[in-house]
Amino acid sequence: MGAAFQNDPLVLGTNPGDPLPMLEGHVSHGRFERVLKAGHFAVTTEIAPPDSADPDEVLKRASLFDGYVDAINATDGSGAHCHMSSLAVCAILTRAGYSPILQISCRDRNRIAIQGDTLGAAALGVCNALCLSGDDVGAGDHPEAKPVFDFDSVSLIRTLRILRDESRFLSGRKLDLAPKLFIGSSINPFVPPIENRVDQLAKKIQAGAEYIQSQYCFDIEILKGFMSKAVDMGLTEKAYILIGIGVLPSAKTASWMRENVPGVHIPDAIIDRLQQAKKPKKEGRDICVELMQQVKEIEGVKGVHVMAYRQEKWVGDVVKRSGVLDGRKPWQPENSIQKSLTETS
């Protein structure tokens, strides 16, 4: 081997993005699956892709979560707004060693594009996928766009399982190498009737979802009822359920979300608490911490998904204060930007 290659991490296989050895009984090389199957309470979050072609912007945003989360969702046209693609964001994060979750929306692509993107993501080292229906185009910045919806979320889950488990396209044509993906989907426990939501959860798990991330939870009592039914049906033994937790900066924002974001349920008591607080932003973080602690105690819950749009810098704070990691420190890059900032401050 020439001298020029002796310390080349790509040649030696020590690059942070190199795949981990696949463990027995696992379906991917990914760290996120390892954490859940090892019995740890997992923490995930999401990154808002930039309106830019700059990969460094992606890494700067991800660095805010260093040492606090096990996986990072790369949103796929969230709110039907256009941003850098989820696939590109996942590729950038994977190359740096992070464990990203590829969001796949049924709204924008047909079965040909979705199957091709899934293989491409796996080829780039992405180990996790989340199957979503996608927000209505009328809510975004391109309302004239034509929605596709060749799949719904359940048929999308089935398709990814066929690619992975049967090593073939939907057409029947065989794959030379199947994608090794940990496959998940979403659920909203807070839209009545609750029984229908549990049935929907059952359909997604039956279709092949191996983990579930929920919509925002601000009502613990509704969640307890939902999870009790899920446990009774044996669903929590078949998939890992992570509950969505949000950071609310103000009563005004909370009221707007309740009125304008479909499926978001925020009780009056939460809005009143924010309204009466002298420091509403801090109060919003305190509420988030309390909800995380309460959610962790509910039977069947295996983790939390922390959503903090435009408040990403506080994710580490709420995770740390909540104690849900039980002293465990998730992976972070050795040259973490956040670590460097902390050490020099």
The answer to whether residue 276 sits within a structural domain is no
The answer to whether residue 47 sits within a structural domain is yes
183 neighbors 160 (Cβ within 8 angstroms): yes
How large is the angle between the packed helices 280-296 and 268-276, nearest 10 degrees?
140
Question: Whole-prediction pTM value?
Answer: 0.91
82 neighbors 110 (Cβ within 8 angstroms): no
The answer to whether residue 279 sits within a structural domain is no
CA distance 186 to 132: 7
pLDDT of residue 310: 83
The answer to whether residue 264 sits within a structural domain is no
pLDDT of residue 343: 47
The answer to whether residue 270 sits within a structural domain is no
The answer to whether residue 259 sits within a structural domain is no
Question: Counting beta carbons within 10 angstroms of the beta carbon of residue 93, is it exposed (0 to 12), middle (13 to 18) or buried (19 or more)?
Answer: buried
pLDDT of residue 157: 98
CATH number for 190: 3.20.20.220
pLDDT of residue 194: 81
pLDDT of residue 92: 97
CA distance 73 to 53: 18
Q: Which domain holds residue 29?
A: 3-250+291-344
Count how many domains the chain has.
1
The answer to whether residue 274 sits within a structural domain is no
Which residues are 73's β-sheet partners? 46, 101
57 neighbors 65 (Cβ within 8 angstroms): no
Per-residue pLDDT of the chain (345 residues; tens, 9 = 90+): 344 433 444 333 456 777 789 999 999 999 999 999 999 999 999 998 999 999 999 999 999 999 999 999 999 877 667 889 999 999 999 999 999 999 999 999 999 999 999 999 999 999 999 999 977 766 667 888 888 899 999 999 999 999 999 999 999 999 999 999 999 999 999 988 888 999 999 999 999 999 999 999 999 999 999 999 999 999 999 999 999 999 999 999 999 999 988 789 999 999 999 999 999 999 999 999 999 999 999 999 999 999 998 889 999 999 999 999 999 999 999 866 555 444 444
The answer to whether residue 261 sits within a structural domain is no
